[in-house]
Amino acid sequence: MNDFQFQNTTKVYFGKNQLHHLHEEVLKYGDKVLVAHGGEFIQNSPLYSNVLDELKSHGITVYELGAVEPNPRHTTVNRGAALCKEHGIQTTLAIGGGSTIDCCKAIAATALSKTDNIWDLVEGKVEWKDALAVIAMPTIASTGSEMDKSCVIANEDIKVKSGINGEAIRPKAAFLDPTNTFTVPARQTACGGFDIMAHFFDMNYFVNAPKYPLQFNVVETLLKTVRTQLPIAIKEPENYETRATMLWAAS
């Protein structure tokens, strides 16, 4: 087995009734938060209004970054970082899928760097070590970005997808409520499930490294679990146990 160091400091709030802890996590870092999301679908959901009520009722000032794209653009990251610098925001909160979470991670790092352009960090032109606090609220079981320390950003100007990696951008907290995934359409549910399985296949079968029984068997069990649960999630979108299983498997 290879040498390794393990530390995962993300605090997970799992289940239906955890949102009332959100203000506690935000206020650990300050009373200003940037809420990022993909657009109207989130804004028109009860989740969004509940999040805003939870934050504002505890004296937290909310700034908003909407229309975060799938494969978030570096220009969107730069726009969010500028907001954070201008208003002294201390925390970024991502509501949505892996792209929104990745966008918040990149914003968090850029906001405390000596540049206004995330691509300077991606290309190593500007060093970075610190980041604003990141809190993740995934609404789809997919990438697992809510608990990892990397992000992928797209630069459409040069047609490149790349990213940054560092412990500072690992989310401080993740709110995983399976009911937030009930309204994900069947196609997106399927895509998310295949994303999970693709990562499992990578780890077990396509990485050129020795295979050790513990890791291999854990990943194989997760893979089999997603394979059996995904069709149920598609046929029964409000099956809580299945949605919960998928969401935790992704993380």
CA distances from 103 to 8, 20, 58, 134, 141 (A): 20, 24, 26, 10, 17
State how far Cα 197 lies from the chain centre.
17
- d(C-alpha 152, C-alpha 229), whole Å: 28
Specify the pLDDT at position 162: 98
β 32-36/11-14 pair status: unpaired
Nearest to 79 by CA among 63, 99, 62, 95: 63
pLDDT in single tens digits along all 251 residues of the chain = 677 777 789 999 999 999 999 999 999 999 999 999 998 888 889 999 999 999 999 999 999 999 999 999 999 999 999 999 999 999 999 999 999 999 999 999 999 999 999 999 999 999 999 999 999 999 999 999 999 999 999 999 999 999 999 999 999 999 999 999 999 999 999 999 999 999 999 988 888 888 889 989 999 999 999 999 999 999 999 999 999 999 999 99
Which DSSP helix (H) or strand (E) runs through 27?
Answer: helix 22-27
Q: Has this prediction a pTM greater than 0.85?
A: yes
Contact 151, 167 (CB under 8 A): no
- d(C-alpha 49, C-alpha 97), whole Å: 18
CA distances from 127 to 77, 151, 239 (A): 17, 16, 46
CA distances from 78 to 4, 65, 121 (A): 34, 11, 12
Contact 71, 161 (CB under 8 A): yes
- d(C-alpha 83, C-alpha 64), whole Å: 9
Amino acid identity at 214: L
Nearest to 102 by CA among 180, 36, 158: 36
Specify the pLDDT at position 1: 66
Specify the pLDDT at position 66: 95
List of long-range contacts for 227-235, beta carbons under 8 Å, 24+ apart: 227/197, 230/189, 230/190, 230/193, 233/141, 233/189, 233/193, 234/186, 234/189, 234/190
User: Which domains, ranges and CATH numbers included, belong to the chain?
Assistant: 11-180 (3.40.50.1970), 182-250 (no CATH)
Tokens at 240, concatenated = 């809580």
How many C-beta atoms lie closer than 10 Å to residue 211's C-beta? 12
Phi, psi dihedrals of residue 130, rounded to the nearest 5° = -110, 165
Dump strand ranges (E) for 90-149.
91-96, 133-138
